[in-house]
Amino acid sequence: MSPDKLIYMANQIARFFHSQPEQEAAAGVAEHINKFWEPRMRTQLFEMTDADNEGFDPLVISALSEIRRPEVQQ
């Protein structure tokens, strides 16, 4: 997936949860990504955010600690 598309999708999820208190919103973003994003998408998300958070909604960044990081395939 293109990096721009992944950022757009993550930020779109965050926008949906912005009306909730921050802690609940971050948990909602993480829950959605954990449920509906396949491991390849979550791997790409972490590769991108490990390198640079630019372009990501702050709520996506807040949710990272609750998003399951896929195991690295050897």
Which residues span the domain enclosing 31? 3-66
Count of the separate structural domains present in the chain: 1
Task: Give the pLDDT confidence of 10-61 residue by residue, as tens digits.
Answer: 999 999 999 999 889 999 999 999 999 999 999 999 999 999 999 999 999 9
Q: Residue 74 has what pLDDT? A: 62
| Residue 3: closest CA among 47, 63, 66, 50 | 47
Task: Report the C-alpha dihedral over residues 71, 24, 35, 3, rounded to 10 degrees.
Answer: -70
15 touches 57 (CB < 8 A): yes
Tell whether 12 is covered by a domain. Answer: yes
Tell whether 55 is covered by a domain. Answer: yes
Tell whether 47 is covered by a domain. Answer: yes
Average pLDDT of span 5-11: 98
Whole-number Å distance between alpha carbons of 54 and 28: 21
Tell whether 43 is covered by a domain. Answer: yes
Tell whether 61 is covered by a domain. Answer: yes
CA end-to-end span of the chain: 21
59 touches 26 (CB < 8 A): yes
Q: Residue 17 has what pLDDT? A: 98
Tell whether 73 is covered by a domain. Answer: no
